[in-house]
Amino acid sequence: ALASTTRLSSFVLFILIGARVFSLTFYGVNGHIWVEHLLTSLPGGEIGFLIGVNILVFLLAFFLDFFELAFIIVPLLAPAADKLGIDLI
């Protein structure tokens, strides 16, 4: 039981480390500005943004858990949602 728990914990830790490395690299090449511009220029304004984000999260949820989605997606989507005037609470 200890070996399987250790293995599972290390898998989760490596996923979180990979998500952090991805986000730091993405911010390093100003990818967040590109994503913000892409999402704020969607047709439909706020509604188009919300529909696009829901479809994106739905598709990514096939491959990632909520915890990993929160680490990768939320930092990319929050500035665009704030710029569109969507309440972040």
Q: In the chain, where are the structural domains located?
A: 2-83
Q: Provide mean pLDDT across the span 32-53.
A: 90
Q: What rounded mean pLDDT belongs to the chain?
A: 89
Tell whether the model's pLDDT for residue 3 goes beyond 90: yes
- What's the token pair of residue 45? 């304004």
Q: Provide mean pLDDT across the span 15-41.
A: 88
Tell whether the model's pLDDT for residue 28 goes beyond 90: yes
What pLDDT, in 10s, does the model give residues 50-84? 999 999 999 999 988 888 788 778 888 898 999 99
pLDDT at 15: 84
Beta-carbon contacts of residue 83 (< 8 Å; ≥ 6 apart) = 36, 40
